[in-house]
């Protein structure tokens, strides 16, 4: 039980630490279309307008952000004139939704290159370091923690909605995109095949349930658990001193695929569809599965009058009450798929678009929707967005790409105002990077694709 508690604490701390670093919607970046090589990570058909491109390690693609159910300032308030903060639990609970979640994604490009061959198609190669995580938490859990069990006398407190999922993996991939003509209208289809190298994983069982009933006469707790299983991989590598070789390569392998397409309905209307990260990782190395046998106990509290370490006393007490088991059996977990559906109307150099984004994390589906206005001014392409992301108010975002000869730079954020004060925002994200692009792969408008399908 002691190791189980430490592992759960470590995972919670890790999720909290990266909370200020991570997000998942990318509606502003999607509105740029095929402007950059990194757009391929959102739609496999968004191959950029270049004969050849190369993206340098790290500086070419960097993405961080967060979507959370509350902000730092919702829970903590600074004491005026002092270097201290207070916990505003009542205010926090009043503003918290019945079910909230923390979603995170991060992508660092290690290497990316691509080439377009006339009459053949566009090829790409990429290596990315990726982190994704999700933590679903109901309001009632915080109510129980803040208000204590006295508020739940003669009531059953049932916890069956909390979910934790965290992935850190590396992907190596090959992509291919090709344009066709269907009834004289261009269709571009793309696919990216990815080999996955798993590094760290932590996840709770989707069927976990905890039931706590408070006895009215003596306030004892009757605790019942069902399916309390927690799986981890990679976290104990630091205890063995071989973290370097493990992170470079190990037996945790997987596979995933990205699918995408764009179609020009007529001269003014385009539609697009993308489904990404369809795949999983099988975790075999440095695996620890923690299972507590389904148990019903009565917790009578602690005598802490002579104890210096309350936490240690609590762990020892729970350890004596619950029978936990640890095994190293391999397991398979998904990597949180996502999808995009887009439509745009082109009027001269002006493009109006609508994008629907779906993200599947920790057993839940979150949907965001956004509208964008995009225009190209010579070497610069600019987009402004209004988006309604899951559990957030409407956000103002923006994106741009700038081509100066062979040098390209870009930036995108779904919530520009959220970057001004991270302590007050629940949603912050941004992407930026630099690429080297050479030549143009666009065919003259009068020339049809080499492949034509009549229907």
Query: Among 285, 319, 134, which residue's Cα sits nearest to residue 197?
Result: 285
Alpha-helical regions (H) of 120-232: 139-147
Cβ distance 178 to 451 under 8 Å? Answer: yes
Structural tokens at position 448 = 């049809």
Mean pLDDT by 10 residues, the chain (455 residues): 41 38 68 93 92 88 70 70 72 70 79 92 95 73 65 61 81 95 90 96 74 61 68 83 82 96 93 95 91 63 50 56 74 90 91 89 75 93 88 85 93 81 69 89 47 46
Cβ distance 384 to 371 under 8 Å? Answer: no
- Cβ neighbourhood burial of 347 (10 Å; 0-12, 13-18, 19+): exposed
β-pairing, 163-182 vs 121-138, is antiparallel
Structural tokens at position 107 = 């992508």
Cβ distance 221 to 148 under 8 Å? Answer: no
pLDDT at 252: 95
Residue 252 to residue 157: CA distance in whole angstroms: 38
Residue 92 to residue 75: CA distance in whole angstroms: 5
Cβ distance 427 to 404 under 8 Å? Answer: no
Q: From residue 114, give the alpha-carbon distance in Å to each of 32, 48, 177, 272, 455.
A: 19, 9, 11, 21, 32
Backbone angles phi, psi at 147, to 5 degrees: -90, -15
Query: Among 386, 415, 410, 409, which residue's Cα sits nearest to residue 399?
Result: 410
> Which pTM was predicted?
0.76
The DSSP secondary-structure symbol of 402 reads: E
């Amino acid at each position: 039980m002691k190791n189980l508690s430490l592992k759960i604490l470590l995972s919670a701390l890790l999720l909290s630490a990266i909370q200020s670093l991570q997000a998942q919607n990318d509606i502003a970046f999607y509105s740029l279309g095929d402007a950059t090589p990194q757009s391929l990570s959102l739609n496999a058909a968004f191959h950029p307008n270049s004969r050849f491109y190369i993206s340098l390690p790290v500086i070419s693609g960097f993405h961080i952000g967060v979507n959370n159910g509350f902000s730092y300032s919702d829970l903590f308030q600074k004491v005026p004139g002092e270097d201290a903060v207070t916990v505003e639990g009542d205010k926090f609970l009043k503003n918290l939704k019945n079910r909230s979640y923390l979603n995170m994604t991060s992508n660092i490009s290690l290497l990316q290159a691509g080439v377009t061959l006339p009459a053949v198609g566009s090829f790409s190669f990429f290596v990315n370091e990726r982190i994704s995580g999700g933590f679903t938490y109901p309001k009632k859990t915080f109510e129980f923690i803040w208000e204590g069990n006295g508020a739940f006398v003669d009531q059953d407190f049932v916890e069956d909605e909390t979910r934790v999922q965290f992935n850190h993996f590396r992907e190596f991939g090959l992509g291919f995109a090709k344009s066709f003509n269907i009834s004289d209208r261009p269709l571009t289809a793309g696919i990216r095949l990815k080999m996955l190298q798993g590094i760290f994983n932590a996840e709770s069982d989707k069927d976990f349930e905890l039931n706590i009933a408070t006895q009215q006469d003596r306030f004892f707790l009757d605790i019942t658990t069902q399916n309390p299983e927690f799986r981890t991989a990679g976290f104990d590598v630091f205890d063995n001193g071989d973290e370097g070789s493990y992170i470079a390569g190990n037996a945790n392998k997987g596979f995933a695929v990205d699918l995408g397409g764009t179609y020009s309905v007529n001269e003014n209307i385009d539609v697009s569809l993308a489904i990404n990260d369809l795949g999983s990782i099988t975790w075999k190395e440095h695996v620890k599965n923690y299972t507590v046998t389904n148990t019903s106990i009565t917790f009578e509290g602690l005598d802490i009058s002579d104890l210096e370490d309350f936490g240690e006393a609590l762990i020892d007490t729970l350890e004596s009450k619950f029978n936990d088991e640890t095994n190293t059996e391999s397991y398979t977990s998904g990597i949180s798929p996502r999808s995009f559906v887009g439509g745009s109307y082109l009027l001269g150099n002006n493009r109006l678009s609508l994008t629907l984004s779906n993200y599947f994390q920790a057993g839940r589906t979150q949907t965001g929707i956004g509208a964008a206005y995009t225009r190209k001014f010579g070497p610069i392409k600019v987009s402004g967005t209004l988006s309604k992301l899951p559990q957030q108010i409407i956000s103002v975002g923006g994106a741009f790409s700038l081509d100066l000869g062979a040098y390209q730079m870009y930036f995108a954020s779904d919530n520009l105002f959220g970057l001004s004060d991270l302590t007050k925002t629940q949603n912050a994200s941004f992407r930026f990077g630099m690429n080297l692009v050479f030549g143009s792969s666009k065919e003259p408008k009068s020339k049809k694709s080499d492949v034509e399908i009549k229907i």
